[in-house]
Amino acid sequence: MKTDKKVFWIGLGLLCSLYSGRLWGQVNVSGKSGLLYIPTAEVQEDGTFSFGYTFNPSNYAFRFNKKNSESISFVNLVILPRLEVNLNLLNPNGPVRFADKGIGDRQIDLKYVVLTEKEKRPSLAVILSAPFGIDNSLITNALVATKHVSLSKSIETAITIGMGSPYSLYRAEVKNSQNEDIFSGYTLKDKRDRPYHYLSGPFGGVKLSFAKKAGVMVEWDSQHLNAGGYVTLFKHWTIQAGLLNGDQFTAGTSYSLRLFQLPKRLRKHEGN
- What residue ranges define each of the domains in the chain, with the CATH number in brackets? 2-271 (2.40.160.40)
Strands 48-56, 155-164: pairing is: unpaired
CA distances from 256 to 15, 114, 125, 216, 237 (A): 14, 23, 21, 20, 7
225, pLDDT greater than 60:
yes
Q: Which of 71-75, 175-179, 214-218 has the lowest mean pLDDT?
A: 175-179
pLDDT tens-place string over residues 29-47: 999 999 999 999 998 888 8
pLDDT tens-place string over residues 228-247: 999 999 989 999 999 999 99
The pLDDT assigned to 246 comes to 94
What's the rounded Cα separation, in Å, for the pair 87 and 109?
6
213, pLDDT greater than 50:
yes
Mean pLDDT score across all residues of the chain: 82
Strands 83-92, 48-56: pairing is: unpaired
pTM over 0.85: no
6, pLDDT greater than 50:
no
